[in-house]
């Protein structure tokens, strides 16, 4: 089994890293977009971050332009939008693909570990959310329409 924390990810600063600094935390990994009907969920994601960060939780956001070209900006534009519009302070990573042959290894792993409805691995839209436990196991996938506040009890359970 692949260790989620060792999967390479691209940082917003054009570097490469892993999720190792987040090992031992409960994570909500989300593919996000700035021009999507679900974009207001940034506020709810930040509320989860504010509520649970001190207990070992973090939202990790991965911008994606695969669905309706709803994330056209570069890393600086995305970060500025998130900061100015939603006061986001959780990590924003580099824009990536979540489906197809160029899908990022992290999302290939998450799709396989936590399939969607009827076992589907493909991600249907922006703001698909993956809840990951402290050991790095993807325990649940949430559809884009699932509001962040509706995930709070699942996060609470994993935080113990």
Please say whether the beta carbons of 140 and 154 come within 8 A.
yes
Task: Determine how many CB atoms are found less than 10 A away from the CB of residue 139.
Answer: 15
Q: Among this protein's residues, is 36 annotated catalytic?
A: yes
* Angstrom distance (rounded) from CA 89 to CA 93: 12
* Apex 79 CA angle, 145 and 82, nearest 5: 45
Residues recognised as catalytic: 36
């Amino acid at each position: 089994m692949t260790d989620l924390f060792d999967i390479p990810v691209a940082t917003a600063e054009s570097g490469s890293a892993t999720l190792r600094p987040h090992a031992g935390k409960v994570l909500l990994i989300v593919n996000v977009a700035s021009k999507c009907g679900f974009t207001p969920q940034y506020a709810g994601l930040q509320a989860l971050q504010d509520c649970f960060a001190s207990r070992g939780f973090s939202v990790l956001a991965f911008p994606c332009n695969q669905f309706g070209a709803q994330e056209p900006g570069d890393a600086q534009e995305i970060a500025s939008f998130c900061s100015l519009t939603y006061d986001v302070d959780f990590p924003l990573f580099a824009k990536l693909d979540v489906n197809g042959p160029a899908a990022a290894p992290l999302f290939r792993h998450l799709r396989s570990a936590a399939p969607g409805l009827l076992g589907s691995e493909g991600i249907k839209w922006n703001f698909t959310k993956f809840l990951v436990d402290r050991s790095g196991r993807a325990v649940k996938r949430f559809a884009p329409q699932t509001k962040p506040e509706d995930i709070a009890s699942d996060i609470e359970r994993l935080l113990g």
